[in-house]
């Protein structure tokens, strides 16, 4: 490798003494892309080395593809999912520069390329093993035929490629014999024949996603003969029913993950014949399927290796849960989210058997009470994740138990619960806590949250949505104690002021801030955030009416990573909006009910923001914007969403007030 010489300087550049290999090793151990960026900014030689070290590129725009690819000659993974537009010519550039080095490409978002560009790419980049073409709804069988040129392909995602039919899939089956992973979710044009041919030709398949395909047992028989099949996803396959499954002579022995959620026509009978041979099944999802009762639990009996069961949205009986507890003792994950019929009795008897449970989701199991939580905390002491949103019958005392007994918790969702400050104080003992959701918990105050701020130093995500009692002192404590915090939601916490934002600006990792409906926040606070939190990517300041253009200008200059902003109901005008064009990453903008916005100002701002992919605008502007401009923006890959919502003056709509008072 040629080493770049720096221009002769009076001072000898010591970094030149480092060999490429050493710098590579250093770069290898840097996880944060920003750190790598810092390295590349030190001097020219490090810049060059970093360029050669870079393997992954995820550009936001395709316009400068050529320059980027020249700078980074060894890119093996190219993620274009953030680019609004990829045309055949940009694919041509990629295929011209990347050639054999490229191994993986993600084209899951961008539009405007056709099978011609795709074919060009696949012919030139012969070492491609991974392609993500999800959402390419315009691609037809010809594109599939060009995919078939990639003989080395191992992973292929075609999610929502609705226009590809059996014929195209047949081409892929014949061409890509080394396929290990294939996702055909929502490829409605594909049926038994195409999938059957995949199973016949691609014997290496490990993972197959057939969700929502109009397939029947015909191809399922062939699929189950795949020797190496480990993951099989059959979500929403209505064509598969018990009758066909019982005809199954031999199930797949290698299966480890099976997802049969939303298979309405499959009951325990079909399931047991399908899993009869799958002794090493580890994960099973039966969400939104048939009733979970004793018979279903019996069909799980042979699956002694089962670690993860997902039964979301099922009708559950206590005896069924009890039986699952008895036969699946090695369970580490259980999800009963939105199940009806989960009672204290059933859940308690299950958790007392499954003592190894790490993750438990009982979201919206509204009938469980203190007793369940007592049993959970008593037997499953190694829980790392507990999600119990909207378990409104659970009393405040139960949360004290959680803090006392489950100290390994990393994720805790207590949205819409009766937790109070005592509970929070107890939970603050969970020092590993990374995600804490306390939305719509009207009983918590600063007193409890300060404990969290003081003790949970690893907190990354905090949700305080509509926890109306909290004030600045909570946020101050959080900002001081939880310096790693990345996401915070203080929406509709009416008492929050700029002081909170100023304190949060010290949290340099903060990337998502939602402060909807905080009327006391002003541009001053926002400016502090903009200057302090350089990583900010999502900002929602809807209904912060005291934020105006003076808040936008610093945002535009400091928050260069901002991708998504909601400005509705603020006092921002044309000037503020236009200044946002300086943020090159900005992709999504919601601009509703800005009183001082003019059509021309909006047009100028939209044109100036070159990377926009989604704009939500009031319907009234649709006729006011010149059609050539909207057309031009659409060509650049921007999607318009026109909204016609009535202006809401109330910060706390009556429904919320009512609901909250009811609970109190």
Partner 1 sequence: MDPEERLCADLSFLDHGMRIEQKISDFNPPAETQSSFACNFDNQAGITSQKDYQMNVAQESNRIQDWDPRSTLSSLSFLEKKIHHLQDLIQYITGRRGQFTGQSDELLVQQQMLITADLTSIIVQVMSTAGSLLPSVDCSHVANPSPSAGVSQNVVLPENYSLNKVEDLTGYENCTVEDHELKSEDDPDEGENLPPGSYEILQLEKDEILAPHTHFCTICGKGFKRDANLRMHMRGHGDEYKTPAALAKPNKESGSESILVKRYSCPFVGCKRNKDHKRFQPLKTILCMKNHYKRTHCDKTYMCSRCNVKKFSVIADLKTHEKHCGKDKWLCSCGTSFSRKDKLFGHIALFQGHTPAIPVDEAKASVGPSDQGQISEATTKIESKDFNFKSNVVEVKGSGNDPTNCFSPLDFGDSNAGEFHEFPRPPFEDSESSFSFLFSGSCDYSSKNGRY
* Interface region with partner 1, contact rule CB under 8 A, candidates 10-18, 172-180, 293-301, 332-340: 172-180
Distance in angstroms (rounded) separating the CA atoms of residues 105 and 93: 14
Among candidate residues 43, 50, 44, 2, the one with its CA nearest the CA of residue 22: 50
Give the gyration radius of the chain's Cα atoms. 28
* Interface region with partner 1, contact rule CB under 8 A, candidates 314-322, 493-501, 509-517, 582-590: 582-590
* Interface region with partner 1, contact rule CB under 8 A, candidates 4-12, 257-265, 319-327, 622-630: 622-630
- Select the residue interacting with partner 1 from 4, 253, 560, 590 (CB under 8 A): 560
CB of 599 to partner 1, least distance (A): 8
3-state helix, strand, coil in the chain (%, to 5): 40, 10, 50
Sketch the per residue contact string, 40 through 59, with partner 1: x for CB under 8 A, - otherwise. Answer: xx-----------------x
Is 601 a residue that touches partner 1 (CB under 8 A)? yes
Q: Calculate the alpha carbon distances from 147 to 83, 244, 364 in Å.
A: 21, 33, 44
- The CA-based angle 252-253-255, given to 5 degrees, is 75
- Select the residue interacting with partner 1 from 603, 615, 617, 638 (CB under 8 A): 603
* Interface region with partner 1, contact rule CB under 8 A, candidates 262-270, 312-320, 514-522, 623-631: 623-631
Q: Which is nearer to partner 1, 288 or 558 (CB)?
A: 558
Tokens found for residue 57: 């590129």
Q: Which is nearer to partner 1, 84 or 439 (CB)?
A: 84
Task: Number of residues interacting with partner 1: please give it, by CB under 8 A.
Answer: 65
CB of 193 to partner 1, least distance (A): 4
| Residues in 118-157 that interact with partner 1 by CB under 8 A | 138, 140-142, 145, 148
Q: What SS3 state is found at 111?
A: strand
Q: Which is nearer to partner 1, 36 or 458 (CB)?
A: 36
Q: What SS3 state is found at 405?
A: helix
Q: Which is nearer to partner 1, 105 or 583 (CB)?
A: 583
Is 166 a residue that touches partner 1 (CB under 8 A)? yes
Q: Which is nearer to partner 1, 18 or 629 (CB)?
A: 629
Among candidate residues 469, 440, 545, 413, the one with its CA nearest the CA of residue 450: 469
Strand 564-566 versus strand 588-590 pairing type? parallel
Q: Which is nearer to partner 1, 201 or 538 (CB)?
A: 201
Q: Which residue intervals of 84-160 are DSSP H helices? A: 88-98, 115-124, 141-147
Q: What SS3 state is found at 640?
A: strand
- Select the residue interacting with partner 1 from 2, 10, 31, 67 (CB under 8 A): 67
Q: Which is nearer to partner 1, 22 or 41 (CB)?
A: 41
Beta bridge partners of 48: none
What residues contact residue 169 under an 8 Å CB cut-off, 6+ apart?
144, 184, 187, 190, 194, 195, 197, 198
Residue with tokens 């318009």: 640
CB of 223 to partner 1, least distance (A): 14
Among candidate residues 364, 342, 489, the one with its CA nearest the CA of residue 417: 364
What residues contact residue 29 under an 8 Å CB cut-off, 6+ apart?
none
**Rule CB under 8 A: which residues touch partner 1?**
37, 40-41, 59-61, 63-64, 67-68, 71, 87-88, 112, 114-116, 138, 140-142, 145, 148, 166-168, 170-171, 173-175, 193-194, 196-197, 200-201, 557-558, 560, 574, 578-579, 581-585, 598-601, 603-604, 607-608, 610, 626-629, 631-632, 635-636
């Amino acid at each position: 490798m040629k080493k770049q010489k720096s221009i002769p300087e009076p001072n000898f550049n010591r970094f030149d003494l480092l060999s490429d290999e050493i710098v590579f090793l250093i770069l290898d151990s840097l996880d944060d892309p920003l750190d790598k960026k810092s390295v590349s900014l030190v001097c020219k030689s490090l810049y060059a080395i970093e360029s050669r070290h870079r393997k992954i590129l995820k550009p936001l725009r395709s316009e400068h593809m050529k320059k980027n690819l020249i700078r980074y000659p060894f890119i093996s993974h190219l993620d274009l999912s953030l680019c609004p537009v990829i045309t055949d010519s940009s694919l041509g550039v990629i295929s011209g520069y990347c050639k054999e080095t490229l191994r993986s490409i993600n084209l899951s978002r961008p539009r405007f390329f056709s099978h011609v560009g795709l074919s060009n790419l696949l012919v030139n980049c012969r070492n491609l093993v991974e392609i993500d073409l999800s959402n390419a709804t315009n691609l037809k069988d010809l594109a599939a035929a060009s995919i078939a040129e990639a003989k080395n392909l191992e992973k292929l995602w075609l999610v929502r490629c609705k226009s590809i039919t059996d014929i195209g899939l047949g081409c892929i089956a014949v061409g890509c014999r080394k396929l290990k992973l294939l996702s055909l979710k929502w490829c409605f044009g594909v049926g038994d024949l195409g999938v059957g041919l995949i199973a016949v030709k691609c014997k290496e398949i490990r993972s197959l996603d057939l969700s929502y395909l109009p397939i029947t047992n015909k191809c399922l028989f062939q699929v189950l003969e795949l020797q190496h099949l480990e993951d099989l996803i059959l979500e929403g396959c209505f064509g598969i029913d018990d009758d066909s499954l019982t005809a199954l002579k031999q199930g797949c022995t290698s299966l480890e993950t099976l997802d049969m959620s939303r298979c309405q026509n499959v009951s325990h009978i079909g399931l047991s014949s399908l899993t009869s041979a799958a002794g090493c099944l580890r994960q099973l999802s039966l969400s939104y399927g048939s009733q979970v009762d004793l018979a279903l639990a019996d069909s799980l009996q042979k699956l002694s290796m089962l670690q993860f069961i997902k039964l979301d949205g099922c009708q559950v009986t206590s005896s069924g849960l009890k039986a699952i507890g008895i036969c699946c003792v090695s369970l580490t994950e259980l999800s009963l989210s939105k199940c009806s019929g989960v009672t204290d009795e059933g859940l308690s008897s299950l958790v007392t058997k499954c003592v190894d449970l790490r993750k438990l989701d009982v979201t919206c199991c509204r009938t469980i009470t203190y007793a369940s939580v007592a049993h959970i905390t008593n037997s499953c002491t190694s829980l790392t994740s507990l999600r119990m949103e909207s378990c409104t019958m659970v009393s405040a005392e139960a949360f004290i138990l959680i803090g006392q007994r489950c100290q390994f918790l990393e994720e805790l969702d207590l949205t819409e619960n009766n937790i109070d400050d005592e509970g929070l104080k107890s939970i603050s003992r969970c020092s590993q806590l990374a995600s804490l959701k306390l939305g719509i918990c009207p009983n918590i105050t600063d007193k409890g949250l300060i404990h969290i701020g003081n003790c949970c130093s690893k907190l990354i995500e905090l949700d305080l949505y509509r926890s109306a009692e909290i004030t600045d002192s909570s946020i101050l404590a959080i900002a001081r104690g939880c310096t790693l915090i990345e996401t915070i939601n203080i929406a509709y916490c009416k008492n929050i002021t700029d002081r909170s934002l100023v304190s949060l600006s010290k949290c340099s990792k903060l990337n998502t801030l939602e402060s909807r409906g905080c009327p006391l926040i002003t541009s001053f606070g926002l400016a502090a955030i903009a200057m302090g939190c350089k990583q900010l990517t999502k900002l929602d300041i809807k209904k912060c009416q005291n934020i105006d253009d003076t808040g936008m200008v610093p945002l535009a200059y400091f928050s260069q990573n901002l991708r998504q902003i909601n400005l509705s109901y603020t006092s921002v005008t044309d000037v503020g909006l236009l200044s946002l064009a300086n943020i090159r990453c900005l992709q999504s903008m919601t601009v509703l009910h800005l009183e001082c916005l003019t059509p021309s100002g909006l047009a100028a701002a939209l044109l100036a923001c070159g990377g926009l992919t989604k704009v939500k605008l009031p319907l009234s502007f649709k006729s006011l914007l010149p059609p050539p401009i909207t057309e031009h923006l659409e060509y650049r890959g921007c999607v318009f969403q026109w909204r016609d919502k009535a202006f809401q003056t109330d910060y706390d709509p009556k429904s919320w007030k009512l609901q909250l008072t009811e609970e109190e």
